């Protein structure tokens, strides 16, 4: 029994032979609908912040530095490439590209930063009627937002009108702690 098993095992190994790919010299084709690095189109983006609100990794940050200027920052070092932002985006400004070889030394190399000039709505400051009909996909964080870009922290606090005090407060953001 032992010997027949061993013969069968030799055949099992011989038949497929060597299957290891000679990567990176030989590159297998990338599937067409791979969820790779997300690419942001600043021409299309309206700065609604839907992607930021629905990012499971909370790695898309929104900061209103003044009434007219909104900074959007995508931190690729924490991204899980789920493609949720691309699903949510009402303007299709985010596409999941097929680039996946994105290991790098500097965090900045996989960071996307967009500075958007925002018109002010006379009625409410910042308002978006999201095209989303799904009740559980609505935007929770409406109005002006003050995430801390240095610490890459999403802060769940918004205001209807631009509030310099909140902006200042978010500068000093620290994780709650009972450390001295």
Partner 1 sequence: MSKRKELEAKLIAHLRDDVVCVEKTDPRTIFIDVKRAGIREASKIITTAGARYLCSVGYDNIERDGTLGMIHTFALDDSDQFVCCRTSAPVGDPVIESITPDLPSAGWSEREVTDLLGLRFAGHPKPKKLVLADDWPDGIYPLRKDVPHNFVPKGAEDVAYELDEAPPGTKIVPVGPFHPSLHEPEHFAVYVDGETIKGCDYRGFMTHRGIEKLCTTQISYNEVPFIAERICGICGSVHATAFSQAVESAAGLVIPRRAEFIRTMMLEFERIHSNLLWLGVAGHLIGFDTVFMQAWRVREQIMWLCERLTGNRKTYGMILVGGVRRDITPEIADDIRRVMKNIEDDLTIIHRAIEKDTSIHKRTKGVGTITKQQALDWSLVGPVARARGVDIDARRDHPYAAYDEMKFEVPVLDSCDVWATLVIRVVETFEAIKIVRQCLDKMPGGEFFVEMKDKIPAQRHAITVVEAPRGESVHYVITGEDNRPERWRVRAPTFPNLQAVPLMLLDEQFGDFPIIMGSIDPCFSCTDRVAVVDLQTGQSSSITKAELDALSRRAQSPSHSLQTMLRG
- Give me the residues that bind partner 1 (CB under 8 A), please: 1-2, 4-6, 8-9, 11-13, 15-16, 19, 31, 33-35, 53-56, 58, 80-84, 87, 96, 133-138, 140, 156, 175-180
Least separation in angstroms between CB 157 and partner 1: 13
2 vs 117, beta carbon nearer partner 1: 2
67 vs 83, beta carbon nearer partner 1: 83
Output the six-digit token pair for 65.
């530095």
32 vs 119, beta carbon nearer partner 1: 32
Burial class, 137, CB count within 10 angstroms (exposed 0-12 / middle 13-18 / buried 19+): middle
CA 86, CA 113: separation in Å to the nearest integer? 17
28 vs 119, beta carbon nearer partner 1: 28
Taking every pair of C-alpha atoms in the chain, what is the biggest distance, in angstroms?
Answer: 85
**What distances in angstroms separate CA 60 from CA 25, 32, 57, 138, one per listed residue?**
34, 25, 8, 17
Do 171 and 163 form a contact (C-beta atoms < 8 A)? no
């Amino acid at each position: 029994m032992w010997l027949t098993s061993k013969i069968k095992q030799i055949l099992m190994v011989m038949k497929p032979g060597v299957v290891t790919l000679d990567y990176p010299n030989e590159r297998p084709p990338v599937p067409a609908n791979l969820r790779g690095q997300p690419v942001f189109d600043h021409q299309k983006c309206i700065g609604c912040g839907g992607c930021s609100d629905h990012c499971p990794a909370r790695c898309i940050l929104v900061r209103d530095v003044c009434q007219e200027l909104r900074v959007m920052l995508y931190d690729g070092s924490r991204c899980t490439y789920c493609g949720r932002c691309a699903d949510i985006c009402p303007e299709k400004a985010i596409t999941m590209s097929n680039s996946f070889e994105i290991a790098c030394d500097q965090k900045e190399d996989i960071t996307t930063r967009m500075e958007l000039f925002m018109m002010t709505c006379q009625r409410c400051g910042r308002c978006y009627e999201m095209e989303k009909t799904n009740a559980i996909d609505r935007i929770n964080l409406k109005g002006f937002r003050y995430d801390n870009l240095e610490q890459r922290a999403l802060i769940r606090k918004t205001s209807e009108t631009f509030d310099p005090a909140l902006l200042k407060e978010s500068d000093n953001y620290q994780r709650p702690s009972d450390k001295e």
